[in-house]
Every structure is written in structure tokens, then in C-alpha cells.
Amino acid sequence: MKADFHIHTNRSVDGVHSPRVMVKCAKNAGLDTIAITDHGRLFPWIEARRLTREFGLLVIPGIEGGDIAVQKHWIALGISAVPQEFSIRHILSHIRNDAGLSIAPHPHTRLGFSDYATLGFDAVEALNATEPGASQKVRNTTHIPEVAGSDAHAGPMLGTAWTEVMAQGPAEDVLEAVRHGKCIPEGTPLPLGEILHFYYLYLRHRVFLHPLDAYCTAKEVIRDMRKARARDAAPDTMNTHPYSR
């Protein structure tokens, strides 16, 4: 089945379309399953099951953790609760104990983990459609499972990159297949025109139509960046930094 494990909706500060629209676009793009992985917000199982029934496309709850602007990101799929731990190793342990799957997205970028295998991620995003430079640098010497994701923030971005998974639902079987390497990253980077189209859609749907929301979101991002800088500069940063090991 064709799966995309890295998708954002308008519940992310940088997403454009609603979960329902993204599922509809995924169906039209020929995908069989998707994971909704909004920034800092776990997609509910009950909503995933409802959308699965409505569209006949398997929707897996997920989350992309790590502050959107300043912390390294991680993806968790199929979990029931958001990890509250600070250390990335403890976060990955939480995901594992919650029967979830951990993915290292866009590795080798400022917001990605380059030591994904050493840390204990279940899989690495070997192809990210919107970050082709990150994918070109992947050197998976320990041969952990590799996946591909669109990192789509709007409907038209879907269908360019996906993971071919040797499994059929339910969600637990799909995640188990990836965990055991029964998957192949497929597709190509997103064309520049589609990336530019996303910025147009974002400005139209999130800025021009809702300027107050856009302003409040920008304030929150700036606040989080300042907090992270202050935390990094603190004397006890080794004990308090979200990704101390």
C-alpha cells in the first residue's frame, strides 16, 4: 500500500487545509494510508477512525514533536498520549512503550537528528519531498527502516513522495511492517512550482483571511524561540534542555 507518514493540516501553525480536506486530497492522489502529524498536537484516534470510515483510506494518528522553530523534530505514529519527557531517548522510549512507531524526519537539517540510528529511532525519513537536501545526505549505515514522506502542508503537495508498505490495515499492522523494514521509500522531491503554490495558499488562507490569527501565531513562535534561547543559555542547561541526553 502507498502510505504517507508526514502530513500537516491547519491544526499546525504552518498548515493550510483541514484534516478532512487533506484526507480527501490524499485519496485523490492515490494514497492508501496517511498519518496526520501536526506540530505539537496529537491527532485523535476517534477522529482518525471516523475519517477512515468516511473515505475508505486508513488514517493513522500521529504528531511531529519538537518546537517548530528551534528544537529538533521527531515523529510518533499510533500513540495514545503525547510524551512529556525532555530527553529524546526518553521520548523514544515512551513511543515504544505506547506501541507507537518513531520516525526521524528530515535528518541532517537544523531541525533534524543526524544520529537517528544511535538514538534508537524505529525508522528514518530517507526522502522528504519538501527537503530534498536532507534526503541526499542520509547515510543509513545501520540499515534501520527507511520511509518517504511528503511533509505536505497543503492538499496539492500530496502524492509526490510516499512509502510502499508491504501490509494491509489496520494501523497496527502497517506500523509493525515498517518497524520490521517491510517498506520502501518512493517518489521524488516536490517541484519548485508546487512549493511556491503552497506559500500562495498559506498567505491566502492563513494570513489575508485571518490576519489576527496569523499575528498571534507569529507572536507564539517568537516567544518559543526566545524561551529556547534563554533555556540554552541557562547554567543548568544540561539538565533542562528538551533534548539533553
State which residues form the domain around 137: 2-196
Q: Is residue 26 part of a domain?
A: yes
Q: Would you say 243 and 72 are in contact if contact means Cβ atoms under 8 Å apart?
A: yes
Q: Is residue 124 part of a domain?
A: yes
Q: % helix / strand / coil in the chain, to the nearest 5?
A: 40, 20, 40
Q: Is residue 174 part of a domain?
A: yes
Alpha helices in 111-236 (DSSP H): 116-119, 132-136, 171-179, 192-202, 211-233
CATH at residue 167? 3.20.20.140
Q: Which of 95, 72, 73, 71 is nearest to 84 (CA)?
A: 95
Q: Is residue 15 part of a domain?
A: yes
Residue 26 clears pLDDT 90, i.e. is over it: yes
Question: What is the pLDDT averaged over residues 2-7?
Answer: 98
pLDDT value of position 194: 81
Which of the four pLDDT bands, split at 50, 70 and 90, describes residue 86?
confident
Please give the residue that has the higher pLDDT: either 34 or 194.
34
Domain count within the chain: 1
Lowest mean pLDDT among 25-29, 54-58, 215-219, 236-240: 236-240
pLDDT value of position 54: 97
Lowest mean pLDDT among 46-55, 110-119, 133-142, 197-206: 133-142
Q: Which of 146, 154, 88, 97 is nearest to 118 (CA)?
A: 88
The partner residues of 147 in beta bridges, in order of sequence, read 125
Q: Is residue 61 part of a domain?
A: yes
| Bridge-based pairing state of the strands 123-128 and 161-165 | unpaired
Q: Is residue 208 part of a domain?
A: no
Q: Which of 164, 128, 127, 123 is nearest to 142 (CA)?
A: 123
Distance CA 10, CA 230 (A): 29
Q: How many DSSP H helices and E strands does the chain contain?
A: 9, 9
Q: Is residue 16 part of a domain?
A: yes
pLDDT digits (tens, 9 = 90+) for 144-164: 999 999 999 999 999 999 999
Q: Is residue 90 part of a domain?
A: yes
